[in-house]
């Protein structure tokens, strides 16, 4: 390949593609295609002088020159290896020697800044292991590059990498936990439900740990509602730190809680002598929400219901709870819930009756949902983020590292 972007004229055929070096203050001395397919490019700074870092005077006396190998972005599948001729100057004033600065790569870096930036950009949207493979570098290096690119993006959204920084306070918060290591490390995820962003992913889920997280909210009195599910242990921390906020139990969870009990009833009927022939493969008719059945399916379901009145009664209770959620208002919710609980208690369905304890323990938080209508406060957004987090952790490298995982999740706010 010809050197320095000059085109050989005459009979020689041009066999290379010219790509500008595009490194400010650098120019090419030679370039050579290696037998391994790599392109080796010798470069040197254009300037003939440098400022002495000791006395700030300009020096032109070159002491020596060293070859430093640096990796640049590949051209197509060809690795590009820069040989940077780094000069050492001797200052004529203070007689100390010094190495010229290197803007293309940076102090003691073995890669160009633009390669690190590109790797970091890729890592913003792709798994670390995947990017490491594609660029032929180590996963730790990819993580470093990701950090360089991600930090400014994250800070633009108002989040900070510092874990003590005050958090912006939305009116509605969502809180949930996820296992970084099942049974060992649980972390807490706090979300802004108004702007649909993750505010923080903090270590641990104990009262003290969650308290520390909530105390970082810049204006705790502004919080009107905090959404959570019934399994979470966050209630005491929220009551302590945000006494003015209503705790709202996620309505999907409440319905799911009852659905679990109802499923047991349906499956027990599917095994009973009188239920088996009727329900064979038809359980879904009872488990699907009523409004999602076709007219035919609804008819079939009610026919089975006539044959199995006990199952029908349990189904009515399940649907009644769903109807209550869909139609009750702040004014009617409490009465409606009491009526439903009474019906369950009167019924002989032990499975559903056992599920009632949640309605006693979380009554206030279940009813709080209706205070915020027409906004249907739910933890769906938080759970979506949690599922994404679990998917990230399944992708492997680096996600057991909490800081890296946190960076990745906060980066999700930008995309
Ligand atoms: Zn000097």
Span 255-313, pLDDT tens digits: 999 999 899 988 888 888 777 777 788 888 999 988 899 999 999 999 999 988 888 99
Characterize the bridge pairing of strands 185-192 and 197-203.
antiparallel
Per residue in 314-336, pLDDT tens?
A: 999 999 999 999 999 999 999 99
The CA 89 to ligand 1 mean position distance, Å, reads 10
- Which residue reads 């440098």 in tokens? 50
- Ligand 1 centre to CA of 45 (Å) is 20
Task: Tell how far the Cα of 5 is from the centroid of ligand 1, in angstroms.
Answer: 36
What's the gap in Å between 53 CA and the centre of ligand 1?
Answer: 7
pLDDT above 70: percentage of residues in the chain:
96
Give residue 67's pLDDT.
95
Average the pLDDT over 29-54 and give the result: 93
pLDDT of 2 reads: 44
Bridging pattern class, strands 62-75 and 26-33: unpaired
Question: Which single residue is written with the structure tokens 């730790």?
Answer: 140
Tokens of 260: 């679990």
Report DSSP state, residue 9. P
Q: What's the DSSP call for residue 80? A: E
* Cα–Cα distance, 367 to 346 (Å, whole number): 22
Give SS3 for 301.
Answer: helix
Instruction: Give residue-wise pLDDT tens across range 370-410.
Output: 999 999 999 999 999 998 888 888 877 667 778 888 888 88
| pLDDT for the residue numbered 340 | 93
Structural domains in the chain?
7-110 (no CATH), 119-156 (no CATH), 172-250+378-397 (3.30.420.10), 258-369 (no CATH)
Residue 23 Cα to ligand 1 middle (Å): 27
Chain CA centroid to CA 375, Å: 25
Instruction: Give me the mean pLDDT over the 73-86 stretch.
Output: 93
Q: In angstroms, what is the span from residue 52 Cα to ligand 1's centroid?
A: 5
DSSP state of 78: E
Strands 97-99 and 62-75 turn out to be unpaired
Could you give the angle at the alpha carbon of 176 between the alpha carbons of 175 and 181, nearest 5°? 145
What spatial distance separates the first Cα and last Cα of the chain, rounded to whole Å? 42
Pairwise pLDDT comparison (275 vs 196), residue with the higher score: 196
Non-local CB neighbours of 281 within 8 Å, separated by 6+ positions: none
Q: In the predicted model, what is the mean pLDDT of the chain?
A: 89
CA of 82 to the centre of ligand 1 (A): 29
Does the pLDDT value for residue 99 go beyond 80?
Answer: yes
Show Cβ contacts of residue 64 under 8 Å, excluding neighbours closer than 6 positions: 87, 88
Q: Output the CA 97–ligand 1 centroid distance in Å.
A: 8
Could you tell me the distance, in angstroms and rounded to a whole number, from the CA of residue 27 to the centre of ligand 1? 26
Say how many Å lie between the CA of residue 99 and the centre of ligand 1: 12
More confident residue, 279 or 166: 166
Three-state SS string over 99-143 comes to ECCCCCCCCCCCECHHHHHHHHHHHHHCCHHHHHHHHCCCHHHHH
> 59: CA distance to ligand 1 center in Å?
8
């Amino acid at each position: 390949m010809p050197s320095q972007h000059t085109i050989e004229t005459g009979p020689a055929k041009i066999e290379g593609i010219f790509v500008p070096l595009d490194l400010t203050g650098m120019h090419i001395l030679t370039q050579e295609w290696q037998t391994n397919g790599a392109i080796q490019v010798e470069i040197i700074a254009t300037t003939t002088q440098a400022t002495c870092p000791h006395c700030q005077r300009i020096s032109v006396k070159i002491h020596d020159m060293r070859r430093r190998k640096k990796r640049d972005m590949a051209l197509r599948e060809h690795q590009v290896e820069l040989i940077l001729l780094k000069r050492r100057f001797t200052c004529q004033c203070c007689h100390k020697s010094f190495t010229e600065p290197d803007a293309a790569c940076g102090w003691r870096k073995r890669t160009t800044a633009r390669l690190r930036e590109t790797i970091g950009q890729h890592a913003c949207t792709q798994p670390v292991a995947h990017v490491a493979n594609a660029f032929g570098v180590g996963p730790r290096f990819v993580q470093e590059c990701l950090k360089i690119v991600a930090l400014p993006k994250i800070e633009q959204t108002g989040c900070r990498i510092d874990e003590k920084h005050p958090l912006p306070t939305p009116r509605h918060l969502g809180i949930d936990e996820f296992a970084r290591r099942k049974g060992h490390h649980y972390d807490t995820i706090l979300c802004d439900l108004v702007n649909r962003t993750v505010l923080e992913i903090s270590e641990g889920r104990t009262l003290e740990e969650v308290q520390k997280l909530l105390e970082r909210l810049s204006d705790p009195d502004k919080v009107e509602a905090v959404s959570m599910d019934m399994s979470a242990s966050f209630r005491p921390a929220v009551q302590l730190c945000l006494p003015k906020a209503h705790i709202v139990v996620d309505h999907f969870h409440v319905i799911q809680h009852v659905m679990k009990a109802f499923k047991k009833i349906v499956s027990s009927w599917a095994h009973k002598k009188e239920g088996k022939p009727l329900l064979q493969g038809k359980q879904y008719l009872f488990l699907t929400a009523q409004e999602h059945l076709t007219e035919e399916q609804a008819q079939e379901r009610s026919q089975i219901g006539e044959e199995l009145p006990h199952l029908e009664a349990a189904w009515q209770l399940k649907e009644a709870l769903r109807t209550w959620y869909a139609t009750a208002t702040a004014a009617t919710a409490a009465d409606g819930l009491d009526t439903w609980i009474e019906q369950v208690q009167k019924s002989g369905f032990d499975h559903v009756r056992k599920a009632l304890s949640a309605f006693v323990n979380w009554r206030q938080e279940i009813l709080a949902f209706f205070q915020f209508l027409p906004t249907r406060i739910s933890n769906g957004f938080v759970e979506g983020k949690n599922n994404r987090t679990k998917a990230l952790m399944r992708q492997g490298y680096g996600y057991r590292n909490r800081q890296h995982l946190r960076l990745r999740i906060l980066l999700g706010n930008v995309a």
